[in-house]
Amino acid sequence: MKEFSSDRIIELKTPLSIEDIINLRSGNRISISGYIYTARDTAHKRLMELIKSDRELPFPLKGQVIYYVGPSPAPPGRVIGSAGPTTSYRMDPYTPKLLEMGLKGMIGKGRRSDAVREAMVRYRAIYMAATGGAGALISRAVRESTTVAYEDLGPEAVRRLKVERFPAIVVNDILGNDLYEKGQKQYQILS
Amino acid sequence: MRRISTKTVIQAVRDLAISANLELGKDVIHAFEEALEKEISPSGKAILAQLIDNAQIAREEKIPICQDTGLVTIFVDLGQEVSIVGGDFKAALEEGIREGYSKGFLRKSVCHPFTRKNTGDNTPLIAHIEIVPGDKLKICVVPKGGGSENMSRVFMLPPSAGWQGVKEHVVRTVNEAGPNPCPPTIVGVGIGGNFEQSAFLSKKALLRPLGSRNSNPELDQMEKELLEEINKTGIGPQGLGGRITSLGAHIIMMPCHIASLPLGINIQCHASRHMEVTL
């Protein structure tokens, strides 16, 4: 199969298989539909504690996508409040283990650590960016939201979201390319 | 003495908290539109167009511009001829935030530093209260997200570093932050004072409307130079590459100790939210 060109928007359906992501490249614009799970700082810490003590996780990891988000409360008549990505590096210490266990995609914003980038290549997974600070716009792609764990964490609870045409861009692909590095190099002016 | 009741303060803070989170300032939207014209990177242009749409959706559908409705800072100018009646002034600010964040369906983003247990009502807040001449009370509510605040820095430079050193540290801070603080950013710079004052000034500098000139011609020139250097980094909107990394660089400067050159750098994401009222 040929690599996708960068001007087309590629449809992705979750859960993801290796075939779904093998030809995706850093810079590809994508549109995600299906179920994704939300988890951020404290939820990650709790997931790691479960993994360490060999207990069952509140949701399956294999082939799944985690969205780093803590949405604002849903006003009456809405599924969710504002729901843009949070900065991803804070989840870096926990991510290689989740990738080893079969996590296939992550949506957030900002750079990942070398360890996470290496783990994405090793376990064949991708990292995608959504537009930070565009939470009102992004909330339109969320059709259902169900809390599946850690309700006590409020905005940090783990939710299962049904999304339709969620807009994102591939930052890190399975070959180890990084859009932030590539993009900055292309536009920087060296004096 | 002019009397202002805490009830009035609570209502004002509540309304400001909600409107600040739902309605992006015209100056910021105008800066997006200008940036969209200047930006040469296709992904940068696409992001800027999304931000303009996002502000419109937030305003029309009454949901927050960004889900990170922040830890709140409130700047207060309290006229020395005003008497606050009916209770504790700081408690009134807090109650206003509590009510605004509950009624406005805003995210509660404040927690214990170690247990990370959420306080549940987005309090406490940070209040900077200044006593000024007159009989007016000005309240400015600033909800600021964690992503951009995390990328902010204070440096205690040696005096020999000079303006060149200040510029290098600002550009390095912007470069290290990269995509993390949601560019295009606004960079607040506080020069002089002491350790905490430089940080305070850097945040205060963010409140000046985008696109406005610094009233001091020397600082105005420095701001231009700084913004040009920042926009040479190539970080661009959301860090995906581009020429618009920051929409503005604002400087406030004051004298400092003969041994010091304090430098505060407060990075503000593109969702630059603040709303004020004068009572």
Q: Is pLDDT at A1 greater than 80 in this prediction?
A: no
* Whole-number CA gyration radius for chain A: 16
A183 vs B107: CB contact, 8 Å cut-off?
A: no
Residue A1 domain-assigned (yes or no)? no
Tally of domains within chain A: 1
Which 121-160 residues of chain A touch chain B by CB within 8 A? 129, 131-137, 139-140, 153-156
Domain region containing A155: 9-187
pLDDT score, position B238: 98
Beta bridge partners of B256: B193
Q: How confident is the model at residue A7 (pLDDT cuts 50, 70, 90)?
A: low
Query: Does residue A15 have a cis peptide bond before it, meaning omega lies within 30 degrees of 0?
Result: yes
Candidates B122, B229, B240, partner chain A, best to mutate (most A CBs within 10 A)? B240
| Per-residue pLDDT band at A3 (split at 50, 70, 90) | very low
Q: Is residue A75 part of a domain?
A: yes
Cα–Cα distance, B228 to B234 (Å, whole number): 11
Task: Name the region of B211 (left: φ>0; alpha: ψ -120 to 50; beta: rest).
Answer: left
The answer to whether B245 and B228 have CB atoms below 8 angstroms apart is no
Q: Are B199 and B270 in contact (CB under 8 A)?
A: no
The tokens 């905490």 sit on which residue? Answer: B196
Tell me, yes or no, whether A45 lies in a domain: yes
B252 and B213 in contact (C-beta within 8 Å)?
no
- CB contacts, 8 Å: A184 with chain B: 178, 233-236, 239, 241
Q: Is residue A4 part of a domain?
A: no
Nearest to A83 by CA among B104, B69, B138, B180: B69
Residue spans per domain, chain B: 2-20+65-144, 147-271
Residue whose C-alpha is closest to residue B26's, from B73, B59, B74, B64: B59
A42 with B116: Cβ contact below 8 A:
yes
Residue A147 lies in a domain: yes
Going from the C-alpha of A66 to that of each of A43, A106, A119, the distances in angstroms are: 11, 5, 16
**Beta carbons of A184 and B234 less than 8 Å apart:** yes
* Nearest Cα residue to A84 out of A46, A43, A38: A38
Mean pLDDT of A10-22: 96
Contacts of A75 in chain B (CB under 8 A): 62-63, 105
pLDDT digits (tens, 9 = 90+) for A44-69: 999 999 999 999 999 999 999 999 99
Hey, are the CB atoms on A134 and B51 less than 8 Å from each other? yes
The catalytic site residues of A sit at 44
pLDDT for residue A6:
53
- Alpha carbon separation from A179 to A1, B235, B240, B246 (Å, rounded): 22, 11, 6, 19
Distance from CA of B57 to the nearest CA of A (A): 6
Report, as ranges of residue numbers, the positions in chain B whose pLDDT lies below 70.
none
Complex ipTM more than 0.90, yes or no: yes
- Residue A2: what pLDDT? 42
Residue A3 lies in a domain: no
Instruction: Tell me if B182 sits within 8 A of B191, measured CB to CB.
Output: no
Strand ranges across the sheet with B153-157: B153-157, B261-268, B185-193, B246-256
* Tens-place pLDDT, residues B197-251: 999 999 999 999 999 999 999 999 999 999 999 999 999 999 999 999 999 999 9
Task: Identify the CATH number of the domain in which residue A149 sits.
Answer: 3.20.130.10
Per-residue pLDDT, A8: 84
- B185: nearest CA partner in chain A: A133
Q: Domain for residue A42, yes or no? A: yes
